Chain A
Amino acid sequence: MTIASSSPPSRLPLGGAEGAGTKQRTRRAATRDDQGDGRLAAVFLAPALLGFAVFLLWPTLRGVYLSFTRFNLLTPAEWVGLDNHVRMVHDPIFWDSLTVTVEYVIINIGVQTVAALAIAVLLQRLTQSAVLRGIVLTPYLMSNVVAGLVWLWILDTQLGIGNEIINALGVDRIAFLNDETWAIPTIALINVWRHVGYTALLLFAGLQAIPGDMYEAAKVDGASEWRMFWRITMPLLRPVLAVVLIMTVIGSFQVFDTVAVTTAGGPANATNVLQYYIYGSAFGRFQFGYASAMSVALLVVLSAITVLQYRLTRAGQTDLG
């Protein structure tokens, strides 16, 4: 079982239980079949459906509605039409924060994907050790807050061991999180540290689905590891890689925690990522309508990316998919 689960696997079509069930249906089940298990299903589904409707479906619709209002939590929301959206389009800080977010996503995803792929392949080709896989996963157990604090300390300009090492190598200390150029790459790499193991394990699971005899056959033909990586691993892993990419991109667009504990948007808005700006607008300036409008924008961006990535990767699907 692998990641394939993320798109409903073909082995288990939506009505999967039916196939096996109908064949050997017991008499008892057959008599019931007219009304099915409708009543029981309603009972079993009730809590989940309640949660779905109240905390997912309704907020989604309401978020769109709020984006058309002026709303400060204290007085009722007041319909203002497209005011918030117009304001957003003309708000340079919004565009800055979108740019910063995209910069973060590119660095984070670029490094994380390559590193995770490397880790996954190394793990697969060298050892099956569960202990090693467990070790690689440990940073994932930390919260973003903890990871942020740990690296804030390691990279501290005065006392951090990172800067001590840099200094010992004869390079000037770098104010990683207080420097406009360095801040975003640093935050992106901190989050790579925390998430790369998890991503690697997802890819590792995908690698496990590739039949081992393909590698055996290639070896017999004298293929090098390098060649096998490009000719076997990459093509067969592509669908899994695509799914992992989509979810990590969506996840990393929502960066907030690390920024909040390390730089708080600074220096000079250099790390004012979109979600941080949204949070500030809502809870710092009580502009819930405007914050909602920016959330809608983020939703649109993420949906577009998802559709685009899905389309692009579909084209490259493989036999194993």
Chain B
Amino acid sequence: MAAVTAPTTTTVRPPRRRFSPGRAAAWTVLGLIVLITLLPFYWILRTALSTNAGLNASPADPLPVDLSTSGFERALGLQSAQEAVAQGGAGGGLDFWRYLLNSVIVSTLITGCQIFFSAMAAYAFARLRWRGRDKVFALFLAGLMVPTIFTLLPNFVLIKELHLVDSLLGIALPSLFMTPFAVFFLRQFFMNIPQEVEEAALLDGAGKVRIFFRVILPMASTPVITLSVLTYITSWNDYFWPLMVSYSDSSRVLTVALAIFRAQTPATGVDWSGLTAATLIAALPMLVLFACFARRIVSTIGFTGIK
């Protein structure tokens, strides 16, 4: 790839000459990368705002064809079956609000519990003195090496034995208590907090529990927020595990629903307008969430080395 050659002529000696062909080429490559990154987003927006008939007529029009919100209406189940079929969609009912709510519940539950429990464990590993600490921590680290695929089948069997198949709790449970990564990530930050801060609190008569909640957690708020957002995105986007565990609308999350939407759409003449609208609805919450915390996340992300 030519991009690696990057800027070839940024010699510092003449500091006034900011422009150079190498630099310009490098910026062009970067611009191209940004374009490839962002263009698909525009294209699904443009498609979602078109009608299927319009898309068939002029597939390459850069603007929405027959500007219409019918795709969104179909995705959100606001159209009657006949109406939907007439516009190239599937007649089957899809309860998008339900799936959205399921996704929110699962992701919130996982993120809240996982981060809290992992933070407690990380505190025990970073700040408490107890026998066997290093050995137990090494065991946790080893857990990082086990690929998720390996635990999925046995975990499914376990969830089935617990009679939690097809429930939101069943989807959330395996990642509810911790991930080795979260423990590891937070431990790093806790260890970097100066010991003096804790000593001062101890002298003031605060117990270790109080120190954890009042000193350590607030001081580590940036990494905790970053980790929370990343965990939220990960559990929101998870597909394989929810696919295994959920069978009905009661526990269906957005990713699984989207795949079903795709499977339901007529094989000849896919409902692209509805499908891209549904895609946008599924992706939008994460885009908004990211937009709120982008700066923090982007600058802390080097830390997430293992994910």
Q: Which residues of A contact B (CB under 8 A)?
A: 1-6, 8, 12, 14-18, 20-21, 24, 26, 28-29, 33, 36-38, 40-42, 44-45, 47-52, 54-60, 62-63, 66, 73, 114-115, 117-119, 121-123, 125-126, 130, 132-146, 149-154, 156, 158-161, 164-165, 168, 193, 197-198, 201-202, 204-206, 208, 216, 219-220, 222, 224-226, 229, 243-244, 247, 250, 253-254, 256-257, 260-261, 275, 278-279, 282-283, 288, 291-292, 295-296, 298-299, 302-303, 306
Interface residues of B in 29-72 (CB under 8 A from A): 29-30, 33-34, 36-38, 40-41, 43-44, 47, 55-56, 59-60
Q: Chain A's nearest CB lies how many Å from the CB of B8?
A: 5
Does A142 contact B129, Cβ atoms closer than 8 Å? no
Q: Chain A's nearest CB lies how many Å from the CB of B39?
A: 9
Does B304 contact A202, Cβ atoms closer than 8 Å? yes
Does B126 sit at the interface, judged by CB under 8 A? yes
Does B148 sit at the interface, judged by CB under 8 A? yes
Q: Which residues of B contact A58 (CB under 8 A)?
A: 154, 158
A147 (CB) vs chain B CBs: closest residue: B40
Does B129 contact A59, Cβ atoms closer than 8 Å? no
Q: Which residues of B contact A (CB under 8 A)?
A: 1, 3-12, 22-23, 26-27, 29-30, 33-34, 36-38, 40-41, 43-44, 47, 55-56, 59-60, 117-118, 120-121, 123-124, 126-131, 133-134, 136-141, 143, 145-158, 160, 173-178, 180, 183-185, 188, 191-192, 194-196, 199, 202-203, 208-209, 212, 233, 236-240, 243-244, 255, 258-259, 262, 270, 272, 275-276, 279, 282-283, 286-287, 290, 294-295, 297-299, 301-307
Bound-complex Cα distance A152 to B272 (A): 10
Q: Which residues of B contact A28 (CB under 8 A)?
A: 202-203
B278 (CB) vs chain A CBs: closest residue: A149
Does A282 contact B6, Cβ atoms closer than 8 Å? no
Q: What are some 29 contacts across the A-B interface (CB < 8 A)?
A: A5-B306, A49-B121, A54-B158, A60-B150, A60-B154, A62-B157, A118-B29, A132-B34, A134-B298, A135-B37, A138-B38, A143-B237, A145-B239, A149-B275, A150-B279, A159-B55, A161-B59, A161-B60, A193-B40, A202-B305, A224-B9, A256-B149, A260-B259, A261-B262, A278-B149, A288-B157, A291-B153, A295-B153, A298-B147
Does A161 contact B4, Cβ atoms closer than 8 Å? no
B243 (CB) vs chain A CBs: closest residue: A260
Q: Which residues of A contact B123 (CB under 8 A)?
A: 44
Of the candidates B55, B178, B236, which one forms a contact with A48 in the assembled complex, judged by CB atoms under 8 Å apart? B178
Q: Chain B's nearest CB lies how many Å from the CB of A90?
A: 22
Of the candidates B137, B183, B196, which one forms a contact with A14 in the assembled complex, judged by CB atoms under 8 Å apart? B137
Bound-complex Cα distance A50 to B59 (A): 54
Does B118 contact A48, Cβ atoms closer than 8 Å? yes
A117 (CB) vs chain B CBs: closest residue: B4
Of the candidates A45, A159, A202, which one forms a contact with B56 in the assembled complex, judged by CB atoms under 8 Å apart? A159
Bound-complex Cα distance A285 to B241 (A): 18
Does B59 contact A41, Cβ atoms closer than 8 Å? no
- Interface centre among B11, B183, B236, by most chain A C-beta atoms within 10 angstroms, is B11
B149 (CB) vs chain A CBs: closest residue: A254
Bound-complex Cα distance A159 to B131 (A): 65
Q: Which residues of A contact B30 (CB under 8 A)?
A: 119, 122-123, 126, 132
- Besides the contacts A153-B276, A161-B60, what 18 more A-B pairs have beta carbons closer than 8 Å? A5-B188, A45-B121, A49-B136, A52-B178, A59-B158, A62-B157, A66-B154, A130-B298, A134-B294, A135-B37, A145-B255, A153-B47, A160-B59, A216-B12, A222-B11, A250-B147, A261-B258, A299-B146
Of the candidates B10, B129, B298, which one forms a contact with A201 in the assembled complex, judged by CB atoms under 8 Å apart? B298
B62 (CB) vs chain A CBs: closest residue: A161
Does A41 contact B130, Cβ atoms closer than 8 Å? yes
Bound-complex Cα distance A206 to B302 (A): 7
Q: Which residues of B contact A50 (CB under 8 A)?
A: 177
Q: Which residues of B contact A208 (CB under 8 A)?
A: 302
